[in-house]
Structure 1
Amino acid sequence: MKPCVKARQLVLIVVHDHFDLDYTCQKDVRTGVETMMKVHRMHRNRMHAYFKKFPSKEAALLKPHPDTMEKQWKELCDLYTSKAFMKRREQNKKNRSKLTVNHDAGSRSFQRTRACMQQLTKARDEIEARRAAKEKEL
């Protein structure tokens, strides 16, 4: 069994023990899964940042991250130095360098940001129309 599957099962056990969630409710299930995905992504990013501090894979293997076991650290080092990972990393760098506008809305999606901007524009237009009507009355 893969380490990530084992970790996911352990997290589910802890969640079941500490929280009273209704797993027949789709919203609770989605919240749990999204939280686990976010925590996993943050952990993976921390591990990669730690790995990048070392000049080589061999140097990184000598000093595993304190939050991982030696076997897990070796698997992560193998992942970070694999050809597929490196290829994807380079492609992502190229794609990010081509962006003309940086998306700066946090975790809100582009579509949601656009919808919020449209709502603000409508509200602004209504306020201006009311001000104009009020000025005509005076």
Structure 2
Amino acid sequence: MIKERFKEYRSVLHKRYKRCMSHEEATLSVPPHVTDDDKRILCDRFLSDSFQKRNKINSDNRGKLEVNHVAGSKSFAEIRHNMQDFVTGQESGPVDLYRGTHCRQATGS
């Protein structure tokens, strides 16, 4: 759980970094609770070639998705398991899974 929280926090800082026009502006716009050493480490990390390369690869991969994951933090496997009929043991099919994750429950749209 701590690892996930840290990833989310780092993601928030990266989004804030990307909104800035320059590396110097980004270094100055980091939240006040972040220490000077951590500011420098984070900004240098976001500027590094390895981070930029991984970021580009991940962006390209997200662009190739045919269907976006819209189920929040739950995986499709977990949702399918929760949709399972526990009396008969039947798992939901792909169509039911898609409806359950992409359609509004109240209106069906």
Tell me the TM-score normalised to structure 1 length. 0.57
Aligned CA distance change for structure 1 residues 63 and 103 (closer, same or farther; 3 Å): closer
Q: Which residue of 2 aligns with 1:79?
A: 45
| C-alpha deviation, 1:118, in angstroms | 4.0
How many residue pairs get aligned? The number is 90
**Who is 1:113 aligned against?**
79
Identity %: 34
Separation in 1, partners of 2:56, 2:8: 20
1:49 to 3, 7, 15: 15
Considering fraction of residues, name the structure with more helix: 1
Partner residue, 1:64: 30
Structure 2, unaligned runs of 5 or more: 93-109
Larger Rg: 1
Take 2:91 and 2:28, find their aligned partners in 1: how far apart are those partners? 59
Q: Which consecutive unaligned segments of at least 5 residues does structure 1 have?
A: 1-33, 125-138
CA RMSD, aligned part only? 2.3
Please give the TM-score of this superposition, normalised by the length of structure 2.
0.70
Deviation, 1:90, is: 0.5
What is the CA deviation profile of residues 60-87 of structure 1, one whole-angstrom value per residue up to 9, with x for unaligned ones? 2234321201110010000000000000
Q: State the AA in 2 paired with 1:78.
A: D
Which structure's relative contact order is higher, taking Cα pairs within 8 Å and 6+ residues apart? Answer: 2
